Structure 1
Amino acid sequence: MEDSSQNICLLSVCDATPNSFGSFEEFLVTLSEKLKQDGWMHVIIFRERPIEEVEKSLLNQNAQIRIMKPSKLGIINFVQLYQIIKEIQPNYVHFHFYPIFSVVNYLSFLFNIKIIYTDHMGSRKPKSTFKKIMRKPYYFTYSKLYSCGIEKVVCVSEFVKLKYFKEYGINPKKMCVIHNGINTIRFQKKSDIKEIREKYNLKEKIIVTCIGLRFDKGPHCLIKAAPLILQKIPNIKFVLVGGGDFRDYLEKLIEDQKIKDHVLITGIVTDVTDIYNISSCVVVPSVCEEAFCFIVAEAMAMEIPVVAFDSGAIKEVVHNESQIVPKNYTLLADRVVEVLSEEDDIFRKKEMRNHIIENFPLEKCVNEYFQLYKNISQNKK
């Protein structure tokens, strides 16, 4: 493959529909900016059309956007991608959120392309003994059938790399770790919070925030912990951010716990930095195994104390493991009370932010991806 910048094209295939401008969307925009500066072409595939803010930001960086809703049948995905690849002739095809082992990897035999994967997703433990027993032979079989054509599997944490090796049987030489990154300029503390509090009609002194109204993000665990927290610190508003079908269950649970007056469900917000900015503590009670956890990194960059369940790669992100508790809502309540009772420590908060700036800035993440593409084209390990 020639290393002529003017001829290089990256096709990013994302099994996602951006309905907010989150850290993954910002990663795509920043990557597109980097590729534009170096004369590369960037084509991005989404499941559905992204929101206007994301679309405009990508188009401003000369990225092209295509829509392709993946099928459960791999052969249909193969045909759809075959047509797109034949048309645009990319040098690299980078799959985000796609299963690593599938028939689409055979496209590498039909075109002069390099295939890369980044999963980004955490994992759930098998719900039954049968599924647990079958998981390894399942992935072993699929790895033998479909591992061909893969140049690199990017792991967003050491936790993911170990998981891929143990459960998927991926050769460690095929993997590399590139931690996710966040925009540390966007995620920084603002001094004026009066307008934000007025916007959400928040009069309570203490705000405990949970972001992501999905079962795997564990907001129900915080709701179960809330009465225990309120016994010790009554002047609290619990702010739940996000939308989805799980909201109905949460609203019933809030009623059952008799804490309705202490809970605000915002729905999807356009600027999550506002919520971080008024938070006294951000709780991340994930019941899945987090592959990275943007929420932890974002909150710490804004100098907000975090209390999180011991889930996947969160230990790799936090500044201090005292921020982590076992997956138990009683222990969660105890730790939140401890954090809220501590004296304000400006030095420690600055340490949290500096930890994120040093280890997980967006620029570092994007530069590492760009270097990976160049190394692959030059057959470097």
Structure 2
Amino acid sequence: MERKIRVLHVAEAAGGVERYLETLFKYSKDKVENILVCSQKYDYEKFKKIADRVIVLKMAHDIEPSSDIKVERTLRRIIKQLKPDIIYAHSSKAGAFARIADLGLNNKVIYNPHGWAFNMQQSAKKKEMYKWVEKISAHFCDKIVCISDAERESALREKICKPSKLQVIYNGIDLEEIEKTIPMRRAQLGIPEDAFVVGMVGRLSKQKAPDTFVKAAKLIKEKIPNAFFLMVGDGELRDQVEDLVNQYDLGSSFLITGWVDNPTAYMKIMDVGMLLSCWEGFGLVLPEYMACGVPIVATNVDAIPNIVKDGVNGMLVGKDDYHEAADKVIFLYKHFKAKQRLINAANDRIMNNYRGEFVAEKSFKLYKGIK
């Protein structure tokens, strides 16, 4: 029997990256020995069941020289000890950790930014800094995985590396897990059984524009009296979001769940799912909405139109345009057949593009190709 390829995954950011790794490990375990070095944000017990080995290191998300140096030294020791065939770094901070720790050791290194930092909404100075960091760091890895065509186009536009170093592997979802997920009961959440539930799953951060969701909610409620709004997630803007909800007198029709372990259980009770991001490297929640049979209203930015084709398998709106977002939701409320057409087309799209098995198969081919 052929020896499994030993891949040492390094991950600092949780959230979408964590869900990505869960799916990748599940569908690659027969051919790959997956070892995870992750931050303290990860659920150790959960990953212990799906990875061959899990090592937790205390990692800071922002730059903290003394803490970062300790992580680098420990990570370098781990690499020397475990002698992986491939080191696979996930997101920008882990990408820096892994590539610096491997200097002089000459392992094969793959880097997946899971969304370029220079595409984030921030100052021009910061964007330039991130571009130069990525350009320099690109010399110290063998392949860069882009999670969407838009991410690859960004890398080429900014001349991050030569085209041959870039490989597009779409994010994937665990359809098997989603299918067996039991929906939350509306009564359990205090949601009326006859409510038209409009939801958003994601971090309450500037990127995901939760304020735009609340502004759209105000307009939707005026036209759909039985509308109820469900935000699944948490984040640094929660207090501001709650203030806006109260300002618009939406408190009795609004629920913010905080972080949950099973977001798809909440998606399954939604009548419409929204993602109103200001920027987005992929948007893993989009194929998850599709798999749950939830029609989508999302912003027409970055990678989102690669996944959602306007009027075909979802509806797209302009960034920050809460009026248009509200109009699309109201349209779906009034037009059942149009809503069902979107759901059917979305189901076809995930079956052909975003299955977790596809991510594992393409990743394995990449490992074999550079090993």
TM-score of the superposed pair, with normalisation by structure 2? 0.87
**Closer, same or farther in 2 for the Cα pair 1:141/1:263, shift >3 Å?**
closer
- Report which stretch shifted further, 317-326 or 84-93: 317-326
CA-CA distance at 1:108 after TM superposition: 4.6
**Closer, same or farther in 2 for the Cα pair 1:145/1:347, shift >3 Å?**
closer
CA-CA distance at 1:57 after TM superposition: 2.8
Indicate the residue corresponding to 1:256 in structure 2.
247
- Report which stretch shifted further, 29-38 or 76-85: 29-38
CA-CA distance at 1:148 after TM superposition: 2.8
1:147 to 135, 138, 145: 138
Q: Determine the C-alpha separation between the residues in 1 that align with 2:39 and 2:90.
A: 12
**Closer, same or farther in 2 for the Cα pair 1:34/1:334, shift >3 Å?**
closer
3-state SS of paired residue (1:6)? coil
Residue identity matched to 2:8? L
Q: CA RMSD in A?
A: 2.8
CA-CA distance at 1:167 after TM superposition: 2.9
1:365 to 335, 338, 359: 359
Indicate the residue corresponding to 2:86 in structure 1.
92
Indicate the residue corresponding to 1:50 in structure 2.
42
Contact 2:17 2:114 in 1 (8 A): no
Greater than 6 Å deviation, 4+ residue runs: none
Indicate the residue corresponding to 1:179 in structure 2.
170
Residue identity matched to 2:360? V
Q: Determine the C-alpha separation between the residues in 2 that align with 1:34 and 1:324.
A: 32
2:77 to 74, 83, 86: 83
**Closer, same or farther in 2 for the Cα pair 1:349/1:143, shift >3 Å?**
closer
Contact 1:13 1:45 in 2 (8 A): yes
Indicate the residue corresponding to 1:201 in structure 2.
190
Indicate the residue corresponding to 1:330 in structure 2.
323
* 1:28-60: CA deviation from partner (whole Å, max 9, x where unpaired): 24433455423x4321011116336523432xx
Alignment of 1:337-356 (within 5 A): 337-344=330-337, 346-356=340-350
1:12 paired to 2:9: yes
**Closer, same or farther in 2 for the Cα pair 1:280/1:152, shift >3 Å?**
same
Contact 2:113 2:145 in 1 (8 A): yes
**Closer, same or farther in 2 for the Cα pair 1:269/1:31, shift >3 Å?**
closer
* 1:243-274: CA deviation from partner (whole Å, max 9, x where unpaired): 23311111111111122122111222232222
Contact 1:91 1:112 in 2 (8 A): no
**Closer, same or farther in 2 for the Cα pair 1:52/1:108, shift >3 Å?**
closer
CA-CA distance at 1:84 after TM superposition: 1.4
- Report which stretch shifted further, 180-189 or 333-342: 180-189
For structure 1, the 5+ residue unaligned runs are none
3-state SS of paired residue (1:9)? strand
Indicate the residue corresponding to 2:271 in structure 1.
280
Q: Determine the C-alpha separation between the residues in 1 that align with 2:12 and 2:238.
A: 24
Indicate the residue corresponding to 1:290 in structure 2.
280
TM-score of the superposed pair, with normalisation by structure 1? 0.84
1:169 to 160, 175, 184: 160
* 1:71-114: CA deviation from partner (whole Å, max 9, x where unpaired): 54465554332111112111211110125985853555522410
Contact 1:43 1:66 in 2 (8 A): no
Computing the radius of gyration from Cα coordinates, the structure with the larger value is 1
1:270 paired to 2:261: yes
* 1:106-165: CA deviation from partner (whole Å, max 9, x where unpaired): 55552241011001135555544x52xx744x4565466443331000000011111122
Q: Determine the C-alpha separation between the residues in 1 that align with 2:161 and 2:226.
A: 50
For structure 2, the 5+ residue unaligned runs are none
Indicate the residue corresponding to 1:158 in structure 2.
149
Q: Determine the C-alpha separation between the residues in 1 that align with 2:213 and 2:4.
A: 51
Indicate the residue corresponding to 2:210 in structure 1.
219
Indicate the residue corresponding to 1:303 in structure 2.
293
What's the % identity of the aligned pairs?
Answer: 27
Q: Determine the C-alpha separation between the residues in 1 that align with 2:360 and 2:79.
A: 24
**Closer, same or farther in 2 for the Cα pair 1:147/1:351, shift >3 Å?**
closer
**Closer, same or farther in 2 for the Cα pair 1:78/1:64, shift >3 Å?**
closer
**Closer, same or farther in 2 for the Cα pair 1:99/1:28, shift >3 Å?**
closer
Q: Determine the C-alpha separation between the residues in 2 that align with 1:126 and 1:33.
A: 34
CA-CA distance at 1:236 after TM superposition: 0.5
Q: Determine the C-alpha separation between the residues in 2 that align with 1:305 and 1:171.
A: 38
Tell me the matched-pair count. Answer: 360
Q: Determine the C-alpha separation between the residues in 2 that align with 1:242 and 1:225.
A: 18
3-state SS of paired residue (1:147)? helix
